[in-house]
Amino acid sequence: MSKWTVSPSPHMLSSNSTSNIMFDVIVALFPALLVGIYVFGPRALIVTLVCVAACMLSEFVIRKLMKRDNTLGDFSAIVTGILLAFNLPPQIPLWVAALGSVFAIVVVKQLFGGIGQNFANPAITARIFLFVSFSTYMTTWTVPFGYQHMADAVASATPLVDIASANTLDLFLGNVSGCIGEVSAAALLLGGIYLSIRRVINPLVPLTFIGTVFVFTWVLGENPVNHIFAGGLMLGAIFMATDYSTTPATLRGKLIFAFGCGVITTLIRVFGSYPEGVSFAILLMNLITPLIDRCTQTKPFGAGGKQHV
């Protein structure tokens, strides 16, 4: 044995790592979390903590049971936990939140092989699972700042139900009822800008998604500004339609994905029976991602055919 380390090139690696990327996502989610807590009170924080804890615990246990290595260190379970909490109304019973978390990690993520292998977005799929199973809990909304007047759990429709009359500035800043992380478009945009600067996401993806919704709702005679600021669009476009595992690999594929999400979201919002369509749109596009991937492979340099990336 020689004392010299012999390994294949390259011998110098970037500082990129999975945990750094996930940490950046957590940082980017923070402004929206703060606004959520501000608008809905400590309950929002408690729900988020329960989701994160349940995600981490279930990831730890299921990896143990499957005799695989512990992956808590990549922080992806924390991201899933926060994202799921962001998709829940603040008054959700904590056991329902925990159940959703276990479903997201165990069924959607780990049974398909863990990080990078799942085909559907865990947080979104869990949201839909809860929506279908516990629709009352999932549609009981809290008035903003209700907690300050001891008026928790007062039902108030989300702005999506009556989108034309909603106040645009309230939507932008978060002075509306809705899910914990969805209320403030401004805070989510801040996170999106951070992720773009850190090169974790390509800003063209959320821009395409949001732009498509804007144009189509406008064409259909809706209020496009309110549409893009309301509901889960910002959260979905910035944080879920940019998920690595469940969206196409090449930029062309990603843009097709984002465009498809925009179209489906608009169709559901305008013509569907649910007021919100972002989750369904993303899940549907997740399902056809392998197909998009197959049609949008890169054309290797000099291998014939048109050149694009």
Partner 1 sequence: MAIIKSRKCLAGAHVAHHKNTTEKETKQLPLSKKVTIPLLQHMGAPCEPLVKKGDHVCTGQKIGDNSAFFSVPVHASCSGVVEDIVSFTNIVGATCKAVVLAVDEEQQQAPVSRPVIETREQFLDAVRESGLVGLGGAGFPAHVKFGYRDIDKVDTLVVNAAECEPYITADYRTCIEARQDIVDGVRAICKFLNLSRVFIGIEDNKAFAMEVLDEAFSPEDHVTVVSLPSVYPQGAEKSIIYATTGITVPRGKLPADCGVIVSNVSSVAHLGRYLKTGMPLIEKRITVDGDAVSDPQNLMVRIGTPVRDILTYCHVSEDDCGKVLMGGPMMGSALADIDAPIVKNNNAVTCFLEKSSLLPKTTACIRCSKCIGVCPMRLMPAKLEKAYDKRDAEQLERLCVDLCINCGCCSFVCPAKRHLAQKNQLAKAFLKELKSKEDKKA
The binding site for partner 1 (CB under 8 A) comprises 2-14, 16-18, 20-21, 71, 74, 76, 114-117, 244-245, 249-251, 297-304, 307, 309
Residue 254 sits at φ, ψ, to 5 deg, of -60, -40
Q: How far is the CB of 194 from partner 1 (least distance, A)?
A: 17
Nearer to partner 1, 36 or 253 (CB): 253
Report how far residue 149's alpha carbon sits from residue 68's, in angstroms, rounded to the nearest whole number.
49
CB contact set of 260 (below 8 Å; sequence gap of 6+): 281, 284, 285, 288
Smaller CB distance to partner 1: residue 226 or 247? 247
Q: State the minimum distance, in angstroms, from the CB of residue 3 to partner 1.
A: 8
Nearer to partner 1, 12 or 150 (CB): 12
Least distance to partner 1 from the beta carbon of 237, Å? 18
Q: How far is the CB of 137 from partner 1 (least distance, A)?
A: 32
CA dist 153 and 199 (Å) reads 39
Instruction: State the nearest-atom distance from the C-beta of 250 to partner 1, in Å.
Output: 6
Angle (deg, nearest 10), helices 204-219 and 251-271: 30
**Cβ 58 to partner 1 shortest distance, Å:** 18
Identity of the residue, 5 or 136, whose beta carbon is nearer to partner 1 in the bound complex:
5
Least distance from partner 1 to the Cβ atom of residue 293, Å = 9
For partner 1, give the closer residue by CB, 14 or 165: 14
> In this complex, which beta carbon is closest to partner 1, that of residue 115 or of residue 220?
115
95 versus 244: smaller Cβ distance to partner 1: 244
* Distance separating the N- and C-terminal Cα atoms of the chain: 45
User: Token digits for 84?
Assistant: 């799921």
